[in-house]
Structure 1
Amino acid sequence: MLAAATMAIAGISAEPACPVLGKLDGKQCFGLDHDPNSTSIELCRSTCCADKACEVWQYNPEYGCWRGSPLECKFSGRHFCFESRGEQLRMPYVPEGSQPHAYRGSSRNFAETAAVDPYAKLVVEEVNGAAGEVYQVRRAGPRQDQMMIAASCWSHTRHPDWCCPLPDSPPETLCWTVESIRDHCCNNGISADGVLLYKVFHDLTSFMGPPELEYFHSLFGGYPIDEDALKSTQLYFRVGKHRPGAICHSADYRSDGSEVLLPLVSLLLASRQPMSRTFLNIGAGTCESPDPLYQLLASDAGQGFVGIAVEANQARLKKCVKVMNATPGRVLPVSLTMDPISAAEQLRPHLEKIFGQSPKPWPLDVLVVDVDGVDCLIIEELMRVVRPKVIQLEILAHIPPPFRFSQQWHMDHSPIWDQDYDMETFMPTAGCSLSYALHKFRPFGYHLLQLAMHDAVFVHKSIGRVIERGLRLKFPQDEFQCYRNSTLWLQRPASFVREWFFSRHPSTVLADIWSNISEWNQEIGRGSSPFTLDF
């Protein structure tokens, strides 16, 4: 039976070897050519595989086959994405003298939500066999022994009418040599009202010999991860040494930063932690949800909180005041474009309205920064006058540990870029990485608490014991493991992030990251933007 299963999909192995570099299901790739002759998923893939100039194929039952070299691939929200299937089979052609691995799509509109670890959830591949059966290949890791193979019960040659025994007679045809497979399919492959269930599968892995397993492994190679090399990098470069608590990693697309502060502040209040009930929200926008502070200030826990909302856009700031007036919290609006060199002096007169002439640094409870620019630099400068208990800022989640990246301030150009900034446009080089933030904030007594899609939350050591007891964790948490366990909002393809994070050593990919950042800055019209990058 297993030999027959191998033969049934022999047509796949006859195609040119085209390992899958990335899955594009549910996305739309722009710039492809329509192939009217490839009228099925199988034909679309095989035609692309046979064409050395074809990097990507996509198939949608309504729109047909599209293949070629894409300008960009993204979740566009268009109808095409709803049923699209596709794969990247080749890397883009790189002209001599140019930098490889540079993403060729638009840096102004690419984003995806993806797990950092490709095996965080079982990776499932499906392929049709010659007799109409479907094979599922699931992977928990890149090794052959981490592969699980299942086959659909029914096909052109297997049907319950002749494969399943009647109460008083054996089946007409011996469809399976393994009785437990027959029993599974006959008992579970038909509904109570007699309808054939095509999506019922049975395990093949435990019945396969080495040749069959190797065959499937060669067809569906896993994403390679050198665990020993990663462990060595992790142990040498990590800031935290303790296993992360359950709260540390960003679990899925619902784990955004809008729901972090309310439970955290509620824990501090319940623990009778001394609180000034103050906040500073830089880049506040309209202050509406999903602003990180909205849920807190709109709740009963927000009663008595007073703080400052800083926003350069007058219309958004006016809306912020209206929104905050409907909450128990009280906000002082400040229309200001932040300069990281003088941020402390810019905000000093406004902070004095809350803290008066009391000794500095002032005991701020919550600091939120999201200016899509020099966020980390602003926080560093503010440490001269405030010492927040909790910091939440947007990070560049696509720059993984241990790479310490930050956009820097250009005295001549940065003020102009800030004036022209459109918050609806993605800026993949505006901000700082997790490792940069950790290294800059740690001297002031801060620990990483958690990641939330594209935000990082840090807490001061003065509340460390309360947080450790309340959330059952130990500081400092291992940021490598926290990052690896997370599903994050990335402004670059997950394949890039994985290549950098799982590299043999940071030095082997530093030049690639540097070149990509330079390229992205050129694309968004900030070619002269200074930045720092090391590890």
Structure 2
Amino acid sequence: MESAGAGDVDFRAVLIPVISRADAHELAKVQTACRMWREADVLVQGRWMQLLLRDFLQDWGGASRYRALAQPQCQRCNRLFWAQRRGAFRRCPCVAWRDARPSLTIVSLNLERCADGSFCEWSGFSAARAATTALFQVQFRSVPELSDAALETADLVFLHTTSAKRALSAAEQATLSRFCSRGGTAVLNCFSAWTVNGGWGKELVKFLGIFPEPSAKFGAGYATKLSTAKGLEDLCLAGPWGAPHAYQSWSSILRAMRSEAVLSNDEARCFINLGETNFNAWLPLESGDAIPVCTSGLQESPLSRKTPLWFPKVNGAGQAFLCSNLHWLADPQAWHGGMIRSEGNVILWLNICAARHLRAELSDLGEALHGALHTAAAVELSPAGWCARGFDIADAIGGKCCRQDIDGGFYGFLIPPRSFSLNGVPHELDSCSVSACLFSLKTFRTLSDDPVEAMSELLQMGLLSPEWRPDLPFLGPTSPILVDMVRVNGPRDDPPIFYHRFFHDHAEVVPQALWEYSHYISQSSSFAAALAARRSGGAPCEQREAALEVAMADTTALPWLAQRWVLTGNSRLDTFVNIGARDGVHEDPLHPLLSNPADVRFALAVEMDLEFCEQHARNLPHVELLCMRATKATVPDIVARLPEWLRGQKRPAADLSSLPRLDVLKVDLDGADCDLAALFLWKVLAKFVVMEVCDAVPPPLRFNLHDDERLVWPPKAPWGCSLSYQVQLMKQFDLQLVWYGAGNAIFAHRLAAHLLGLPSPLDEVDCYAKSVLMTMWPSGRTLRRWFYEDNLNDTFIEVRAALTKRLGNLPFTLEM
């Protein structure tokens, strides 16, 4: 395709009609042939995602075709349908199916036949069975002998015959081979240090070309990484399968498996075992039928191996996992000590359980993909149908059109129904659907549905320039917050259902938001009960007074409070301390109150960055300036710069009836904010305190990063202190929460709050649920689990571990 030159017809006018009708093959041709690919890519991304959304995400009946798109061959969606955890991609075959547990039937010989070799009955495998139950609709069935009838409905057969009264017969061996030929999965143990029946495990593995060494030495314990070789993607890099909310029943291991902040990639891929014995695997290794599962440093040869092997295509259809000892799967109290509590071991086991599902449901990829996209391309779409509501504007900005839920932060509502409306009417489960809230949908600035008008609006707001490119960073307005409405039901359905999408790099993309919505609806009663139990009993957080002035950010909220203060008969606020002032202008809530020198009786700014200090001096020359790092050690220096009439009033007393003399203290250091604020307030009180909030730790958990010489800037999230920590801290200074939103909070002295006539103190749990959150870490999925899905005690343990990993040796407090 030749691109239009300067003065020719605009390329969009040519490409939009072409791309809006393109199928997958034609999209690929556009990508490789168009010389103006940077611009065309935005359009193609929009069309591609529209095909996926309409025919797969919205058509739940097409789940098998939708799952096929999880294959790594699908490069156009940049692995949108994978879950990224612990720094590596983990296969998630279907976004829609994450909320369901696949069925699974496991068959083993019974306890009477093979004693501790019975996976389904022996107590030493109870933990492994519990893990399986957490992620699968599983049926465990034990049988006295193998037969075609016994294995007819089985997905996985588990065999360990060391202690069996008799070895497998020839008929049973033939049954096992036929089972794999039908696509079944076999887990086989060929331990050969000793045997009860004289079989040495040979009869289990002979059909795979494996020959155990009789009376082999009981091997030492070891830990090694699982391999990432071709053919092991589903086994060592994938999963685990299942719904995130279903992990709750498997205690600490599943909690670690689902948390990118707890479990490192190395830990997730670590295999631990004990007591392995030698076997000859020359034939299957030479032919390529077997793949070593471990990247072991042990001295092994094909003629004498100990570590596990994976057979991805047994008899052309099935799969088998072979090991020479089952300590890796046994309970800690079993044998010489089982190792199922190792995260890598349990992940490996669950992926083995999922192997048959992956093979059955992801087979014939080419036919499924072609048929699905052919159907999608047959429907005509107008440019407005996929361009403005697709990914051309909101999601292309910031380069996140195909982003998934990764460890990259969150901007938006944690309660999913809050982001959806029925033709503009808030969802019935939105807590602000009846009464107006500060963060009701109507208070946002909504972009036009028309792509031309939308681009024009962005240009007029100064958010885009004529030279804008999709790979440039984007910072949307904070007050009012900018959204657009994405229709998520069919074009012929009435009334339309809209997802209100935020313009921000950390906002959730449409498929992710739809999954979160479906997940929440399915368990809304239990989630709502969890939130109700965590509330502190403060005032409801509608913030209606702020809503009337659309005070959605601290930059508009503080000036609104200052104006309301005067209108209620009080003297103008005119004394300020700004710790973390930057240039004094950009995104600083104090700037509107400091800009006119005549309105300022005293103001002090503290900033450590020399360049910002120089800019601040030019921008606000009437403000006293301290160019130094604010720490607990330098707080006395800051206080010393205040005039005596401000310093005279210190910590609160029970009989304090007069208001604090300092009007406003603002602290925004991206560091030990609460430590500095507390030390300052013990020396000098303030009527109002403006704080940046660490939204990464939800209430009622109280997190605070402490002052330390090892703190560096720019910091690694999280920093500062959480909302609940701030609420608890400010109580000792008689300060109450009167405003909260988008990662900032404003506290007012009890007497000042009364004079303002505002509801206070606001309930921090209710505020967190109703307000827009802004955090650089963790993801929205993780925050939702922490806030209202998981048990609070379990959440506390997981958050503490996540913070320890993120912050390293930096000191912090976490309380509950």
In the superposition, the TM-score normalised over structure 2's length comes to 0.41
Amino acid corresponding to residue 259 of structure 1 in structure 2: T
1:399-437 CA-partner distances (Å, limit 9, x unpaired):
21111111123xxxx32433xx12xxx632211100000
1:73-114 CA-partner distances (Å, limit 9, x unpaired):
9xxxxxxxxxxxx96975995797955312589999933321
Equivalent residue for 1:317?
Answer: 613
Question: Quick one: which of 748, 771, 776 aligns to 1:486?
Answer: 771
1:208-250 CA-partner distances (Å, limit 9, x unpaired):
xxxxxxxxx9998442445466546645651514564325789
Q: Does the 8 A contact of 2:85 with 2:258 survive in 1?
A: no
Amino acid corresponding to residue 626 of structure 2 in structure 1: V
Amino acid corresponding to residue 464 of structure 1 in structure 2: A
Quickly say closer, same or farther: Cα 1:89–1:387, change in 2 above 3 A.
farther
* Structure 2 residue 670 is the aligned partner of structure 1 residue 381: no
Q: Does the 8 A contact of 1:119 with 1:139 survive in 2?
A: yes
1:138-170 CA-partner distances (Å, limit 9, x unpaired):
97559xxxxxxxxxxxxxxxxxxxxxxxxxxxx
Quickly say closer, same or farther: Cα 1:510–1:294, change in 2 above 3 A.
same
The CA distance in 2 between the partners of 1:237 and 1:402, in whole Å, is: 8
Equivalent residue for 1:49?
Answer: 67
The CA distance in 1 between the partners of 2:689 and 2:516, in whole Å, is: 47
Q: Does the 8 A contact of 1:364 with 1:388 survive in 2?
A: yes
Q: For CA contacts below 8 A with separation 6 or more, give which structure has more relative contact order.
A: 1
Q: Does the 8 A contact of 1:366 with 1:388 survive in 2?
A: yes
Amino acid corresponding to residue 638 of structure 2 in structure 1: L
The CA distance in 2 between the partners of 1:89 and 1:251, in whole Å, is: 43
In the superposition, the TM-score normalised over structure 1's length comes to 0.60
Equivalent residue for 1:116?
Answer: 414
The CA distance in 2 between the partners of 1:57 and 1:377, in whole Å, is: 49
The CA distance in 1 between the partners of 2:542 and 2:51, in whole Å, is: 46
Question: Quick one: which of 654, 659, 669 aligns to 1:371?
Answer: 669
* Structure 2 residue 558 is the aligned partner of structure 1 residue 261: yes
1:357-406 CA-partner distances (Å, limit 9, x unpaired):
64445621111111011111111111122111111111111321111111
* Structure 2 residue 260 is the aligned partner of structure 1 residue 102: yes
1:338-363 CA-partner distances (Å, limit 9, x unpaired):
223x3541312211x46376444562
Q: 1:286 aligns to what SS in structure 2?
A: coil
* Structure 2 residue 741 is the aligned partner of structure 1 residue 474: no
Equivalent residue for 2:788?
Answer: 502
Percent pairwise identity = 19
Q: Does the 8 A contact of 1:44 with 1:58 survive in 2?
A: no
Quickly say closer, same or farther: Cα 1:357–1:498, change in 2 above 3 A.
closer
Quickly say closer, same or farther: Cα 1:41–1:514, change in 2 above 3 A.
same
Equivalent residue for 2:741?
Answer: 452
Pairwise CA distance, 1:123: 6.6
Q: Does the 8 A contact of 1:250 with 1:488 survive in 2?
A: no
**What is the CA RMSD across the aligned residues, in angstroms?**
4.5
Q: Does the 8 A contact of 2:665 with 2:690 survive in 1?
A: yes
Q: Mark the runs of 5 or more structure 2 residues left unpaired by the alignment.
A: 1-44, 58-63, 88-93, 100-236, 241-252, 266-403, 431-489, 498-513, 652-659
Pairwise CA distance, 1:261: 1.4
Q: Does the 8 A contact of 2:737 with 2:748 survive in 1?
A: yes
Pairwise CA distance, 1:49: 2.0
* Structure 2 residue 740 is the aligned partner of structure 1 residue 433: no
The CA distance in 2 between the partners of 1:528 and 1:493, in whole Å, is: 23
Q: Does the 8 A contact of 2:84 with 2:406 survive in 1?
A: no
Equivalent residue for 2:217?
Answer: none
Q: Which has the higher helix share?
A: 2
Question: Quick one: which of 661, 676, 696 aligns to 1:398?
Answer: 696
The CA distance in 1 between the partners of 2:580 and 2:414, in whole Å, is: 28
Quickly say closer, same or farther: Cα 1:531–1:123, change in 2 above 3 A.
farther
Q: Does the 8 A contact of 1:403 with 1:533 survive in 2?
A: yes
The CA distance in 2 between the partners of 1:367 and 1:261, in whole Å, is: 11
Q: Mark the runs of 5 or more structure 1 residues left unpaired by the alignment.
A: 1-33, 74-85, 125-137, 143-197, 206-216, 522-526
Quickly say closer, same or farther: Cα 1:356–1:121, change in 2 above 3 A.
closer
Q: Does the 8 A contact of 1:250 with 1:487 survive in 2?
A: no
Question: Quick one: which of 517, 531, 535 aligns to 2:812?
Answer: 531
The CA distance in 2 between the partners of 1:324 and 1:218, in whole Å, is: 48
Instruction: Choose 1 or 2 for highest CA Rg.
Output: 2
Pairwise CA distance, 1:465: 1.7
Question: Quick one: which of 587, 603, 606 aligns to 1:290?
Answer: 587
Quickly say closer, same or farther: Cα 1:308–1:220, change in 2 above 3 A.
closer
The CA distance in 2 between the partners of 1:494 and 1:102, in whole Å, is: 12
Pairwise CA distance, 1:442: 1.1
Quickly say closer, same or farther: Cα 1:222–1:111, change in 2 above 3 A.
closer
Amino acid corresponding to residue 575 of structure 2 in structure 1: T
Question: Quick one: which of 503, 514, 523 aligns to 2:800?
Answer: 514
Corresponding residue pairs, total: 380
The CA distance in 2 between the partners of 1:273 and 1:515, in whole Å, is: 48
Q: Does the 8 A contact of 2:704 with 2:813 survive in 1?
A: yes
Equivalent residue for 2:538?
Answer: 240
Amino acid corresponding to residue 100 of structure 1 in structure 2: R
Q: Does the 8 A contact of 2:646 with 2:661 survive in 1?
A: no
The CA distance in 2 between the partners of 1:287 and 1:234, in whole Å, is: 40
Q: 1:309 aligns to what SS in structure 2?
A: strand
Pairwise CA distance, 1:294: 1.1
The CA distance in 2 between the partners of 1:306 and 1:67, in whole Å, is: 56
Q: Does the 8 A contact of 1:392 with 1:458 survive in 2?
A: yes
